[in-house]
Structure 1
Amino acid sequence: MMGDRTRRTFLLSASALAGAVACPTLARAGEKQQLIVDKARIVVESFLNDPQFAKMRVYVQNAYGVLVIPDLLKGGFFIGVEHGTGVLLGRDPQSGAWSQPAFFEIWGGSFGLQFGGQSSDAIFTIMNQGAIQKLLSARFQLGADASVAVGELGAGVGAGTTVQFGEDVYAFARNMGVYGGLALDGTYAKPRNDLNQAYYGQPLTAEQIVRQRIAPAVPGTEGLRQALSQF
């Protein structure tokens, strides 16, 4: 017969074994999302430290939100398809503080004589409240729901310079591959609430994260938010 003490030890051991089996699954639940956040931080830091993108600083400093898409992939024969997953962060226009990141997916297509492939780290600066509200509310098409322009390279604009932002969205990209530019027409962006839930452990919309700021603070986002604050 099993004594009470032995029985308790057995039950505790069984419970610990069950937890050991379950914990890796729980731990892996946010790994994919944290990898996206970490890649976004690396992209922001690389743009921040690149003299060619010095002009970009004033755009980030005045943006209402920034959409960071690491590894925006485009490739195909005759039909080019863009796709990437990244994060959107909102900037408080009063304090300059950045929100927790909300996950987004971007995709689009273009037709033409295209060969090879391209990978672009891309940052989109959202320059007014109307554009960011459209981006948060539904599927958002660049060029249709908001005017968009490709950000110019160079160091001609500094932090103290007054700039008239004529477009709703500006796109900055570092291209790698045989394509010579970033195609924007017909490009869509859409919130990924499933990734938000997996990362924050509760159902949250992009609106709740970026505008309402009710998402719990996650230590893994601090590096990305600090990098943006350095612009």
Structure 2
Amino acid sequence: AVSVGPVGRHAEAAADVMMQGEVYSYSRSKGAFAGVSFKGTVITTDEEVNKTYYGQPLKSKDILLQGRVKKIPQSGKRFIKGLNMLAPAKIKKK
């Protein structure tokens, strides 16, 4: 995003992880301002850590998409259980 000028306005809406709590914000500014903002995300994997954790060499696609994990470690089972408990309830189809 780039912003230059004497007056600026910004409005934003967001929700929490469970999509229940709503957050709204609005701002207005006066005066000289020039700014630049860059946002982005990069996700990488560490195949050595995967090998240590799962006890076999695995790529992310092997774990997430191809189901090549022979045995899920206990900590992984606890993590999955926690995610399932925190996930919003599925919407029933009519």
TM-score by length of 2: 0.50
**Larger helix share, 1 or 2:** 1
**Larger strand share, 1 or 2:** 2
Q: Tell me: higher relative CO, structure 1 or 2? Use CA pairs within 8 A at least 6 residues apart.
A: 1
TM-score by length of 1: 0.22
